[in-house]
């Protein structure tokens, strides 16, 4: 796989009365088409990193290149999904109206807009809810709307920041499987931040484990679990149990050497 994104020497210090070094130094690449999960302790700079990778914020140090070109603002082929779906949806717009917001003015024909809205809503299982308003939907359904909007954009790379952190366990499992299906259907590259180790392993082809701030990469762990993954059988595999244990230990022990595989 070729690399879609390359991150070199990325570091970030929040300036102010008490400057705070959130990110120490990150170097990694994101292969085109990969599902890369990122885990690390709370406050280690995961959101800061995503802001830098999305072009929303310029890091203090280092470079981010997409397709060999340095980032200059938010790239047109990148989409973002945040944890807080209730704030990312417009309450006065219908579900379809919220998805329609993905399109930059005048860049997509009316017919194509309609097709993309329908395809995206179908992909997240919300075709029937197109005319509803966000407040008529459950939290999980609202997050599906946010995902549909990102899909309608047809991004080459999708960045997600703890997108399922505020839904119940059952809904979360459904949304995880939705992401796996959506990834197959739209063939995107996905960068998925979570604080849930099991989720990172279940979804990822690779898990980047971050240390606490100022963060560095403790290890990039390749996840060679069989696909398609299954909520019950995948999580029962010895390899799954071993990976989640190894990653939990890396997070607990910070930069200390991980235990070798049996
Ligand atoms: N705008 C900001 N100004 C100052 N410090 C910030 C700002 N945003 C985040 N931080 C600090 O940077 C650290 C990393 O934050 P964040 O990237 O949100 O971590 P995470 O997403 O991993 O929980 C935290 O200690 C946080 O308090
Ligand atoms: Mg965060």
What atom in ligand 1 is closest to the CA of residue 45? Answer: 17
pLDDT at 204: 98
Q: What is the arrangement of strands in the sheet containing 35-39, beginning at the earlier edge strand?
A: 69-70, 61-66, 3-14, 20-31, 215-222, 206-210, 35-39, 189-193, 157-161, 78-81
Residues 192 and 129 in one domain: no
Asked whether residue 102 carries a pLDDT value surpassing 70, the answer given is yes
Residues 160 and 232 in one domain: yes
At 1, is the pLDDT very low, low, confident or very high (cuts 50, 70, 90)?
Answer: confident
11 CA → ligand 1 middle, Å: 13
Q: Is the per-residue pLDDT at 129 higher than 80?
A: yes
Q: Which residues surround the ion ligand 2 when the cut-off is CB under 5 Å?
A: 46-47
Please indicate, yes or no, whether residues 62 and 18 belong to a single structural domain of this protein: yes
Picking from 49-53, 115-119, 256-260, which range would have the lowest pLDDT averaged per residue? Answer: 256-260
Query: How far is Cα of residue 169 from the mean position of the Cα atoms in its chain?
Result: 18
- Among 20, 44, 11, 9, smallest CA distance to 255 is for 44
Give the closest ligand to the alpha carbon of residue 23. Answer: 1
For residue 46, give the ligand 1 atom closest to its CA: 22
Whether 174 and 132 map to the same domain: the answer is: no
| Average pLDDT, rounded, for the chain | 94
Are 89 and 134 spatial neighbours (Cβ–Cβ below 8 Å)?
Answer: yes
Query: Look-up: residue for tokens 């999580």?
Result: 235
Residue 255 has pLDDT above 70, yes or no: no
Are both 144 and 184 inside the same structural domain? no
Q: Are residues 36 and 94 in the same domain?
A: no
Residues 108 and 238 in one domain: no
Q: Are residues 104 and 70 in the same domain?
A: no
Q: Which residue has the tokens 């607990």?
A: 252
Q: Ligand 1 centre from 217 Cα, in Å?
A: 17
Q: Which helix (H) or strand (E) holds 28?
A: strand 20-31
List the residue whose alpha carbon is closest to atom 24 of ligand 1.
43
**Are residues 150 and 160 both part of a single domain?**
no
pLDDT band at 53 (very low <50, low <70, confident <90, very high): very high
Lining ligand 1 with CB less than 6 A are 14, 20, 22, 40, 42-48, 213
Same domain, 38 and 70: yes
CB 137 within 8 A of CB 99: no
Number of C-alpha atoms within 13 angstroms, CB side, residue 99? Answer: 31
Residue from 12, 17, 22, 216 to probe ligand 1 pocket by mutation (most atoms less than 8 Å from CB): 22
- What is the domain range of residue 123? 89-154
Checking if the pLDDT of 39 tops 60, the result is yes
Q: Which whole number is the average pLDDT over 182-190? A: 96
Kindly give the number of the ligand 1 atom that is closest to the alpha carbon of 210.
22
Q: Whose CA is nearest to atom 26 of ligand 1?
A: 43
- Model pLDDT for residues 6-28, shown as the tens digit of each residue: 999 999 999 999 999 999 999 99
Encode pLDDT of 132-154 as tens digits.
Answer: 999 999 999 999 999 999 999 99
In angstroms, the CA 53 to CA 29 distance is 11
Please state, as a whole number, how many other Cβ atoms lie within 10 Å of the Cβ of residue 237: 14
**How much distance in Å is there from the Cα of 215 to the middle of ligand 2?**
13
Can you give the pLDDT at residue 260? 58
Residue 198, pLDDT score: 98
84/184 Cα distance (integer angstroms)? 25
Q: Is 83 among the domain residues? A: no
Q: What is the DSSP letter of 259?
A: P
pLDDT of 5 reads 98
Is pLDDT of 189 > 90? yes
pLDDT digit string (tens) for 196-213? 999 999 999 999 999 999
Reply yes or no on whether the pLDDT at 259 is more than 80: no
pLDDT over 70, % of the chain: 97
Please report which ligand is nearest the Cα atom of 161. 2
Phi, psi of 48 (to 5 degrees): -60, -45
Mutate to test the pocket of ligand 1, among 11, 45, 193 (most ligand atoms within 8 A of CB): 45
- pTM, full prediction: 0.94
């Amino acid at each position: 796989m070729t690399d879609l994104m390359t991150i070199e020497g990325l570091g970030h210090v929040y300036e102010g009365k008490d400057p705070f070094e959130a990110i120490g130094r990150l170097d990694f690449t994101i292969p085109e088409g990969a599902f890369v999960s990122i885990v690390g302790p709370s406050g280690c700079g995961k959101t800061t990193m995503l802001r830098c990778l999305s072009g929303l914020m310029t890091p203090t140090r280092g470079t981010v290149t997409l397709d060999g070109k340095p980032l200059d603002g938010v790239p047109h082929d990148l989409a973002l999904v945040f944890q807080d779906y209730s704030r990312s949806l417009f309450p006065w717009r219908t579900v379809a109206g919220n998805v329609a917001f993905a399109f930059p003015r005048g860049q997509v024909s009316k017919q194509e807009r309609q097709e993309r809205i329908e395809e995206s809503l179908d992909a997240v299982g919300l075709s029937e809810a197109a005319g509803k308003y966000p407040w008529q939907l459950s939290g999980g359904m609202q997050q599906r709307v946010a995902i549909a909007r990102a899909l309608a954009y047809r991004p080459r790379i999708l960045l997600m920041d703890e997108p399922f952190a505020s839904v119940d366990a059952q809904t979360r499992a459904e949304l995880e499987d939705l992401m796996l299906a959506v990834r197959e259907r739209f063939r995107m590259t996905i960068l998925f931040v979570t604080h849930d180790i099991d989720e990172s392993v279940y979804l990822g082809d690779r898990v980047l484990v971050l240390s606490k701030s100022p963060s560095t990469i403790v290890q990039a762990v390749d996840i060679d679990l069989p696909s398609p993954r299954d909520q019950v059988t995948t999580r029962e595999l010895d390899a799954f149990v071993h990976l989640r244990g190894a990653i939990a230990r890396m997070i607990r022990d910070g930069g200390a050497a991980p235990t070798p595989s049996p």
